[in-house]
Amino acid sequence: MSYLRTAILLAGLTGLFMGVGYLIGGAGGAMIALVIATGTNLFAYWNSDRAVLSMYGAHEVDARTAPDLHRMVGELAARAELPMPRVFIMDNPQPNAFATGRNPQNAAVAVTTGLMQSLSREELAGVVAHELAHIKHHDTLLMTITATIAGAISMLAQFGMFFGGNRNNNGTGIIGSLAMMILAPLGAMLVQMAISRTREYAADEMGARICGQPMWLASALSKIENFAHQIPNEEAERAPATAHMFIINPLSGQGMDNLFATHPSTANRIAALQRLSSQFGGGYAPPSPPRSASSAAPGGPWGGGGARRGPWG
């Protein structure tokens, strides 16, 4: 996402915020909402990455506590010509991952314990490469800011509905106020969804190029999609505004590639990766069989005492 598109998005979300504020308190409410929105933008820029990581109970790991994972991220970051991001693990059984941070110099990659236990080394490399692609594309700032502001819009709209909106309105004005208080969060959600669908396809392609094996990521997406429907992510259910940050929708009941989907259809993403693999010339070995949770070495998460080899074999 370009900085211009980011600025347009933030302006649109801020406008929604001010519109709801106007309906709650008139011109004074709009000005208060503008001040709140400005503060929210500044907070999101500097602190939203830490807030999201804290929300999901992510803890940072290094070359000592998670050597294989840390080494993999470092090797893939070098291939992507990126600074080494911070690496986090979330104690969550659902296989999933996201990246966050305001720029590549202040970025983080977070994966769940379920992801490390469910995927092979090659598939995990595909997922990490996908998240590094978001960092390279500067998607992470956009993801965290939209999550913060969209959540704030929803809370403000709920506040307005509770207090009945601008008391000076009557007749169709009251109906319009109620409609806006319902439609404003919906509009913010649709902006998130549209951006998510676009950026996921771009990150899939870039991630496949970073790791050099499109089918590693395709295989990982298929597995994550299957597990995500079976294993709930309670933190994501409590904060649905952050769902678009994950590689696969962490919420229960994900739909297909339609207006209300937070992510593109996984089948469509896999098909795109298959086409990309054909363009690469094919001939790639299929990913290794999944490593079970019990096979991980006790020295650290995701095979901490395993073989000292890179993510490409």
* N-term to C-term CA, the chain: 32
Angle between helices 172-211 and 121-136 (to 10 degrees): 120
d(CA 212, CA 231) in angstroms, rounded, equals 30
DSSP 8-state code for residue 305: T
Q: For residue 120, give Cα distances in angstroms to 230, 293, 299.
A: 19, 11, 18
The most distant pair of C-alpha atoms in the chain lies apart, rounded to whole Å, by 71
Catalytic residue among 122, 123, 131, 225: 131
Any idea which residue has 């771009």 for tokens?
202
- C-alpha R_g of the chain: 21
Token reading at 189: 């959600």
* Closest by CA position to 220, among listed 232, 207, 233, 231: 207
* Closest by CA position to 296, among listed 145, 138, 89: 89
Rounded to 10 degrees, what is the CA torsion of 210, 194, 240, 181? 160
Judging by beta carbons within 10 Å of its beta carbon (0-12, 13-18, 19+), is residue 219 exposed, middle or buried?
A: buried
* Catalytic status, residue 131: yes
Catalytically active residues are 131
